[in-house]
Amino acid sequence: PSVAGSMIGVRLGLSQHIEDSLAIFSLELDEEDNGNINSVSRKGRDLLKVIGDCGDEYRRA
């Protein structure tokens, strides 16, 4: 198994981690980071082609 993506979010109504949550905006990727991400991404499958759009399984007849 592998991770196809990650989701970053907050739980509504919880405020004790506001400063930690705001720290995500200081993240910066350089050319090497982007190159590494793209290199790994090219090894994967296009999930849109493999499984379709999110929720598509409910729209199929």
Q: How many CB atoms lie within 10 A of CB 21?
A: 14
SS3 52: coil
Instruction: Say if pTM beats, i.e. exceeds, 0.85.
Output: no
In terms of residues, how long is the chain? 61
Helices (H), the chain: 18-22, 31-43, 47-51, 56-59
Residues near 17 by Cβ (< 8 Å), separated by ≥ 6?
A: 10
pLDDT single digits (tens) 24-51:
889 899 999 999 999 998 998 887 788 7
Residue 14 has pLDDT above 80, yes or no: no
Q: Look at residue 60 in the predicted model and tell me its pLDDT.
A: 62
